[in-house]
Structure 1
């Protein structure tokens, strides 16, 4: 029972069909082995680029797909139905590209975006700092100004693609005040950048999430994205978009588990499975409403903050119900429902503490904006 999607164009329908074929061909055969062995899927982003599935929500001028966010998220959902870890990795990379794509100068976009969007480069960023939770305004990682640019100092946790990314989008404090945070494009490897061991997890083991310690990494002035001391708004923009990505991944995971359960039950358990399907449809409707608001240039922070926990809860409930229906055959290659349940539980544990849904503090929303430097 594939999802009957309401999409804005024929091109979007073709894109979803291509995504399903890619997921069946490239993801489904690799997921079990990679997750069991905690083996990073080398070549995944290059394969996405060849399939035309990389950089979807960014301009075609720089090699992106030129798709609205509502289409990109449904592509993400389809990928998550085969491998939620890979879908999450795609979303992390997409988020790492966001500041450069939306707030970089023309020169910065021309220099970096083509490699970011065609699958050549993999991007990462940190979910949080040890003390900060989901609130970007609590950042203490510092970018100290020097004559040659900036020096990065500090510790971060939840660094996606830790040790594997070619570049890291970093938010660091560049002034003494609460809003004095800037966005910088940092290298993924440096002699003064150290990564910790991957986070322990019973699922999503193939995509490393680590801690990072910036011990004096030097950055050129042109690696500042947007204006100095005005990066907090970008950080909240990434946070909101990230919530939608998690919601789409969780929804795809829930959908996949219920499709297996419905086929296996063959008419039995109809009422309970129908209730779970209703919850998944609701989660999809909520995240798509937020995405369409984003595409229209409207505020969507509140909707995104609601969509994420609702979709993750739907995934936990759907995979739990599928486990009950399948019973002893739930942990096989043919019926990977037990893996789905572990992945849903991991998404639930990773839910960041709820940050204010109203965006950055008032002193970052005074109308000064975050105009691109020279853009």
Structure 2
């Protein structure tokens, strides 16, 4: 098999991103969907100390998975995703891994579409039918995936800067409403309540095993681990920050009752008498981040499935992937069902794949290196 990197867009050229772009992209993939829906879960199970749960999730999920993934990439610096999978696992298992990656990322893309369908009517378009939100968003996301992962990586930098601006404005304007003592105690029943609170976010962070297709595109492979870890760490810190702000303003009981606590928090922000709808600005930033996240997962799904199916141009899969994502979105009955699915099914699956896939690749790499060393010794 010829050594090549999967095409990043319609140009069919070789995709390259810097480790700084990977950091921003990883941050956006981890943070964007979680920031609106996760704080309520953290407060419901972790109470006043729920804001600490993202840090625990990062330590037990994102950190080990990112390091395992970085080790795989560093040991094979000249190989793209397709070549790496076939080299370590063989043609059949390599293509099976590509198919698994494609299906996993397609499911994430569909779940992202459902999040947009749930949030948009609350924010700006009340009583809007599901299809009226889902179809335009999928078209934009598919176009973003077709444009290439480099475009999404550059756009993710905007998401990082804009999020920091929202945090600064929130802290600066809500000072009179913030009560830091509401963050105490860290646990009021038993320490395991933080583990329960972090369960959903553990699954979200474990999704980074599917970023292998992005990691192999970084121009400096020795920086991949740093970018993956720092991107996830920054996302965890920002999730902690927004959850802590919501708890200090509303109290954990009220935050647990909100569907989208951070959106309710930003609604309280006013700057003088000329900026009174920062929630619209927040929604716009979130929507751009969701486009980046969904487009990237569409790109990763096409990258993996295209390799598994032996396609020379995986961009031909985008219409089919968009249609499948729409169908899956319409099959999800409600946000409460999605929460149960996330905690009972998605998190165990994501954690198993997050630790299992990089672990299998590392074992296969060790076996391959040992075989090559024995062959050299026999030849000598």
What TM-score comes out, normalization by structure 2 length?
A: 0.25
Q: Which protein, 1 or 2, shows the higher relative CO under an 8 Å CA cutoff with sep ≥ 6? A: 2
* Higher relative helix content: 2
What TM-score comes out, normalization by structure 1 length?
A: 0.25
